[in-house]
Amino acid sequence: MLFAAGFGTRMRPLTDALPKPMIPVAGRPLIDHALDQTVGVPLDRIVANLHYKPAKLAEHLAAREVITVLEHPEILDTGGGLRNAISHLGRGPVFTLNSDSIWKGPSPLALLRDAWQPEEMDALLMCIPVTQTHAYSGQGDFEIDQNGRLHRGHGHVYSGAQIIKTDRLQEIDATSFSLNILWDLMSAQNRLFGISYPGHWCDVGHPGGIDIAEALLVRSDV
């Protein structure tokens, strides 16, 4: 599941004319950099949610054989968007991936697949040590304990990549909601896990992130 429906408010004025996933970075749309992370990972299908300025993005993704789901009339946020796409994704655990990040290192999806233990995990999030982030100014979202469980805190940033079971989405009584609500349900039962990414990651959520991401892509020392 590729999350591609957002308004890209922080990316204005570039998103006045284009949806954020179509903003070029190093000569290619952001969404194509996200799709690079799926190469070599056996996936049954790829689904993307659309809402803001969807026409150009839908056309672009059709050429990449990506299934698109239009959210209308309202945008559904990450949790609502994932639940809305279940009929296309199927009922099993799914990968999700944000479309506004640049990665320098191994495929996060391949690392998640190798670490996934469904008997004890309901979600496995790829987290970035704050020291390995670029164009990010926060303190992080989570701490990872010695058993790999996640707790709200500092030190690691959620990257936008994860494996997650979707059955508990039906427990949430809202149409539009964040996946944070589902993570909190999982955490309460000690079933929310994370792993630390060994490479580097850039947040391209604002115009200043573009130059930083392009510089990261050509660096040979990371």
Contact 142/151 with Cβ under 8 angstroms?
yes
Exposed/middle/buried for residue 167 (C-beta within 10 Å: 0-12, 13-18, 19+): exposed
Contact 48/83 with Cβ under 8 angstroms?
no
CA distances, 70 to each of 53, 196, 215 (Å): 10, 33, 33
Does the CA dihedral 152-153-155-159 come out positive or negative? positive
| Residue positions counted in the chain | 222
What domain range includes position 109? 2-218
106: tokens are 């191994």
- CATH number for position 16: 3.90.550.10
CA distances, 8 to each of 20, 180, 194 (Å): 5, 20, 27
The count of domains in the chain is 1
Per-residue pLDDT tens digits for 93-121: 999 999 999 999 999 999 999 999 999 99
Distance between CA atoms of residues 213 and 104, nearest Å: 9
Indicate the pTM of the whole model.
Answer: 0.95
Per-residue pLDDT tens digits for 19-72: 999 999 999 999 999 999 999 898 999 999 999 898 999 999 999 999 999 999
